[in-house]
Structure 1
Amino acid sequence: MDTREKGFVSAETVARLAGVSRSAVSRTFTDGASVSEATRKKVLEAADALGYHVNHLARGLSHDRSNIIGIIVSEIPTPYQARLLDEMTRQLQTIGKIGMVINTTGDAASVANALRQTLNFRADGVIVLSGTPDASLIASCVANGQRVILINRSDHIEGPANLAVENAETAQEAYHLLRRAGCRQLAVVSSTAGTPSLMARENAFLAAAMADGLAPSVVKAGPTGYAAGAEAARQLYSRSGGPDGVFCVTDLLALGFMDAARHAFSLRVPQDVSIIGFDDIEQAGWESYGLTTFRQPVEEMVEAIVQLLSQTGPADWPHAVPPIKPVPIWRKSVLPRPETT
């Protein structure tokens, strides 16, 4: 006879079938708890017959801990976000946490709604990958015992930890790589998204160029993606005096730019134009692109997040985390440094 019930089987039902107390069931499924072997055997047999599974959410909430980590993110299909989510959810599981991904559009209203959802589900913490949350909502999360981690967001909000990549210094390095390659007519391909990390890259590159007396063109042909990069190339090369050195603030923009430059304008990369990206997505290393870029160290970033979430007391919680430096990845989209005579 099938003894399995419809819906979730309760510990009370297991206790009745096993002929033991409710507390004996709880002790059986609690690591290190004291229970006799005979009782354990009866409980496990009953649990197996009924299809019982421990309700970790209810158990955690009884101790003010859900083990849920909210992850607020937009543009999930993009290679960088997908890679970050993959690494993050896997590493969270290694410390007994479950990632609850909330897909947003990245605007203020959707991010605010996502934060409220993390409070409704009593999440232990929340990681904000997209959008800049309102300070009052952040304060509400912190007041409810949530650990809040902002990734490449604003660093002037009180309460959360901010894990940032060294965007400005890296963009300056991109400028010097192009200059050492002999590039004189420079351009920055950015995005209408205007996120803090993208703006930091754009502004730092422009500042480095202006310090040398140069004024690069800036093109923002749409949101951060392949199509916007291709459109940027069409805008720049549809008139005379197009750039011979281009810094794209993401790899997706760079790949779109490269394809349009080569196929619509018959330009050679890097002989006619050198191109540098940012992120080191998988496609950047494909043979057809060979994009020189800066790798965001995703594994290191996620390890830092896991370490933050593993800390136990409020006194341990930092508000400032040292920035993580991207790694330059040299491929074939930038001319080698010219020989000096």
Structure 2
Amino acid sequence: MSDKIFVSAEEVARKAGVSRSAVSRAFTAGASIAPETRRKVMEAAEALGYHVNHLARGLMRNESGIVCLVVSDMGTPYRSALIKALTQQLQNAGKIAMIVNTDRSDERVDMALRQAIRYRADASIVLSGMPDKSLVDLCVRNGQRLVLINRDDEHQGPLRINLDDDDTAQSVVTAFLRAGCRRLAFANSEAGTPSLMTREVGFVAAAREQGLDVTVERFGPTGYESGKVLAQRLMTRRERPDAVFCVTDLVALGFMDAARHQFSLSIPEDLCVVGFDDIPQAAWSSYDLTTFAQPIEEIAAAAVAWLMSEDVGQSQSLRLNAPFVWRRSVRSA
């Protein structure tokens, strides 16, 4: 068996009876080439199974077309949806996505990101959570274009995309007050990521503006099982909350199941619950969760548009709104 894998442009030129430069022009959009010559090249390429080496072309222009997605918690519904939107829009823009899984912030993550840099990735999009700030600095030092999503890092040159957490917090507090709730709680994980902690701080501050204290409870990773434990902790207090803002929908779903099945509470009659993300499960009839919708397509479009623009030298900050999705886990006014 032959070790040869790729058909070269020179082989296409010989089969088509044209020059090597004619093959290059045939596969270059807008290049000047006679229709008959293009036809010969395309027929020869089809017969030989030739594909243009875009990586080699890009490296000649000091561009690889690779965009590295630095991601944690890829299995969660929200993160999966964001990855899907980003990869689709990158592909539409002619880019290739390379994913670095940062669920563990150790030397293997650093090694994976360095490998992406060795492949000459043009840019990195860093989603909230991990990696450590030092890995973000690594991207900057290697001259990559950089997009930070739901992070507070301050760097020269990147685009930072965040959500308007102040508006979110005010909306939740208003909804709880109109439902007649006065004993408020916030259910958070122990992940401590910038976006989650900003959500907590904003809610506590908005409640205090209305003269209300918030009971804050944190536990474990940001997931369904943690929500169940958080409900057990909050519902066994001497004074139970009558309204809970959960840091994500997954936490909220676990919280609701524990509140109903372990403590026989009715939602929203006994307890009002709000989540965040608007994952598909939030709309299931068994939950019907009031939540905030992550503007996933808008985030992806803004990130890719900025990476494709000519002027990326200036640091930019973009703040987006997360629409309030009203369902039946909060009593109506």
What's the TM-score once normalised by structure 1's chain length?
Answer: 0.90
Letter in 2 for 1:324: L
CA RMSD of aligned residues (A): 2.1
Letter in 2 for 1:169: D
- Aligned pairs for 1:35-54 (under 5 A) are 35-54=33-52
Letter in 2 for 1:88: L
Q: Secondary structure at the match of 1:141?
A: helix
Structure 1 counterpart of 2:275: 277
Residues 239-289 of structure 1, C-alpha deviations (whole Å, 9 max, x = no match)? 432211000011110111011111111110000000011111111111111
In structure 2, C-alpha distance between the alignment counterparts of 1:275 and 1:19, rounded to whole Å = 72
Alignment of 1:17 with 2:49, yes or no, is no
Query: Are residues 109 and 157 of structure 1, via their aligned partners in 2, closer, same or farther at CA, if it must alter by over 3 Å?
Result: farther
Letter in 2 for 1:32: G
- Aligned pairs for 1:1-341 (under 5 A) are 6-105=4-103, 107=105, 109=107, 112-131=110-129, 138-314=136-312, 317-337=313-333
In structure 2, C-alpha distance between the alignment counterparts of 1:110 and 1:244, rounded to whole Å = 44
What's the TM-score once normalised by structure 2's chain length?
Answer: 0.92
Residues 133-159 of structure 1, C-alpha deviations (whole Å, 9 max, x = no match)? 566654553454421000011242333
Q: Secondary structure at the match of 1:322?
A: strand
Q: How many angstroms does 1:109 deviate by?
A: 4.7
Query: Are residues 319 and 106 of structure 1, via their aligned partners in 2, closer, same or farther at CA, if it must alter by over 3 Å?
Result: farther
Q: 1:129, 1:150 within 8 Å by CA — same for their partners in 2?
A: yes
Q: 2:102, 2:131 within 8 Å by CA — same for their partners in 1?
A: no
Letter in 2 for 1:229: G
Q: Secondary structure at the match of 1:259?
A: helix
Q: 1:251, 1:293 within 8 Å by CA — same for their partners in 2?
A: yes
Of 109-118 and 40-49, more deviation after overlay is shown by 109-118
Q: Secondary structure at the match of 2:317?
A: coil
Unmatched 5+ stretches in structure 1: none
Q: How many angstroms does 1:321 deviate by?
A: 2.0
Letter in 1 for 2:319: P
In structure 2, C-alpha distance between the alignment counterparts of 1:256 and 1:16, rounded to whole Å = 65
Q: How many angstroms does 1:213 deviate by?
A: 4.1
Query: Are residues 137 and 266 of structure 1, via their aligned partners in 2, closer, same or farther at CA, if it must alter by over 3 Å?
Result: closer
Letter in 2 for 1:129: L
Give me the identity figure in percent. Answer: 53
Q: 1:186, 1:246 within 8 Å by CA — same for their partners in 2?
A: yes
Q: 1:108, 1:133 within 8 Å by CA — same for their partners in 2?
A: no
Query: Are residues 175 and 111 of structure 1, via their aligned partners in 2, closer, same or farther at CA, if it must alter by over 3 Å?
Result: farther
More RCO (CA 8 Å, sep 6+): 2
Q: Secondary structure at the match of 1:326?
A: coil
